[in-house]
Homo-oligomer: A and B are copies of this chain.
Amino acid sequence: MSTVSTFPKNTWYVAASSQEIGADKPLGRMVCGERIAFYRDAAGKMVAVQDFCPHRGAPLSLGHVCDGQLTCGYHGLVMGCDGKTVSMPGQRVRGFPAIKSFPVAERYGFVWVWTGEAALADEAKLPVLEFFDHPEWAYGGGLYHIACDYRLMIDNLMDLTHETYVHSTSIGQKEIDETPCKTTVEDDTVVTSRFMSGIEAPPFWKMALRANGLPDDQPVDRWQICRFSPPSHVMIEVGVALQGHGGYDAPNDKKAYSVVVDFITPETETSIHYFWGMARKFKPQDAELTNTIRQGQGKIFAEDLEMLERQQKNLLAWPERQLLMLNIDAGGVQSRKIIDRILAAERAGTAALAPAAAPLAA
């Protein structure tokens, strides 16, 4: 890894979904270049320590969790949640060198880790997302590993004209290209929005309309409101409403309204863990619908993988080429400016990110 990081460190990143980490087995995952073992203590509280046993360097993530204690799978060293060895069969462990432990939190069904300066970690800085843990909303999602700079994924999500081309059979349609978008910046939040009127819903949204008990053969209004907040969260309000009912502001029984949730976690400078999902504000109790949408979204989002990985290879092959910054790219460009400002502040040694709330108008 280069000495100058390309991603902020004093911030929370999603490391895993909660259900990836059970009671018995730790999870090994690299976040921001740090190899980390995640596990739950006896109370079920999340713990994150360096994935390195101080005894002989074995990865702790190959071990087991017994009664909430992480036990190395090689020679039985028991690691504490603070990175200090608790015990080891037949050994006095007082003098064992400690390993790094990482601030970690669990919220919204995700495990969040802070790989920067631990003293700056503060759960108050976790994003506030109203659609999680809310009876009017349902959530489903997944995880993809992609070999690209995390900023290419931000670019992707802040410029949805790509849907017309990459996702032409599901959510793409020519009206996206034809309808200008508007980008605004307020503090550390970038919003790029596009509103289309009187169009035919594309296949994914026809499915959603039917799922909400609405006809799929009538003109609709469609909206896309992409909202970047640091370090790399992109929440996208999306939906369609039957025409003539107020569009984005239509009542719930005249529209299908969701938020595309994107947590983009740098693994290395050129690879990410991409946590994608959809929170929807219709038929929240319908678990089968949640599953149908998750499968559909997973298929659609998989269409981006090859493009992003090949784009990354191209950028590495042509490091001298300048990319264009068009109006459609404004969302990504503004997001990168905010990231650059945060990186400069981190290099200068100033404080961590402010809380990255994502207040929705809905």
Contacts and interface: CB of A to CB of B under 8 A. Distances in A.
Given A55-B324, A323-B57, A75 B162 contact: yes
A73 interface: yes
A187 interface: no
Nearest to A313: B59
Contact of A314 (B51, B307, B321): B51
Nearest to A61: B310
Interface stretch (A38-46, A90-98, A351-359): A90-98
A153 to B, nearest CB: 12
A4 interface: no
A89 interface: yes
A350 interface: no
Specify how many copies of this chain sit in the oligomer: 3
A37 to B, nearest CB: 11
A155 interface: yes
Contacts of A164: 76, 89
Given A73-B165, A178-B89, A310 B62 contact: yes
Nearest to A96: B324
A317 interface: yes
B75 A159 contact: yes
A322 interface: yes
Interface stretch (A201-209, A214-222, A326-334): A326-334
Contacts of A57: 311, 314-315, 318, 321, 323
